[in-house]
Structure 1
């Protein structure tokens, strides 16, 4: 062969009558072989050189996960954790997933709080800016009125706030 045997090749060799020449020894072996092969080919293509020797995630999908801490097709003495380097308990995986989901929820809540705080700050700054603009407009009008009075120019554009026309001259 000139290269290491892939998991699929090894599994086929061990689980077929007459070592790859005959049929599979049982239906489960055939199903696992076909499922794993289809998964590998869909991920990496049909050319053997581009496929990994072993894809733990595809294998776990093909065998429907570990059973009693063991993985079908790997060998009777190898615990799942030695092969995969992952938790052997589906419950452990679910808890890890739940913890990740909860962490993401907390992160999202924190981001939402930050957004709300920033929106409140924007609203406050907007009100302050409107107040400053209003005060500036009043000051400018008063300055223009004062200048027009000093120059004895009739003020038709900026009447006084009292409404009296006597102040406009």
Structure 2
């Protein structure tokens, strides 16, 4: 992910300034975890741990110069300053700067695309982010639809199983009633036969 795209993502989470972006891309994993947990912030320069000595030195010099700028100009807007960052990167090549790469420095530091860059990097990154957002939204819709289809299939399976169970229970109940009816008929026949035998004995002349 490029610096432009990362800044845009950080903006959405409320951490779009250059100081946070630099720490987020150059600090150690443990330091970034503390930063996200808000145990420390980008102004706790002595608490920050960077992956390289150059990153640490650049950031410390940058923050020190910013503080001096604010002290000498109380009315100065307190925020990141591209000129100050450029001053601590004297060995930057044309088109590339440490901590910024080939991205638009005006956009990364100040949040406003430069006219010189024609906003191409910013627009390309913004468009890329919008495309990515559409893809994510589409994936969410497709996932929700698949989950709904799976749920409908599960409900249909449960309905079929329930109907089959009710059918089996009905058949078993009918068979049981038929057996009980047959048993009653058999007993009634036996009782009738016994009664007939008794009546014959009673009506016989020999009795």
Query: TM-score, normalization: structure 1?
Result: 0.48
Q: Which has more radius of gyration?
A: 2
Query: TM-score, normalization: structure 2?
Result: 0.41
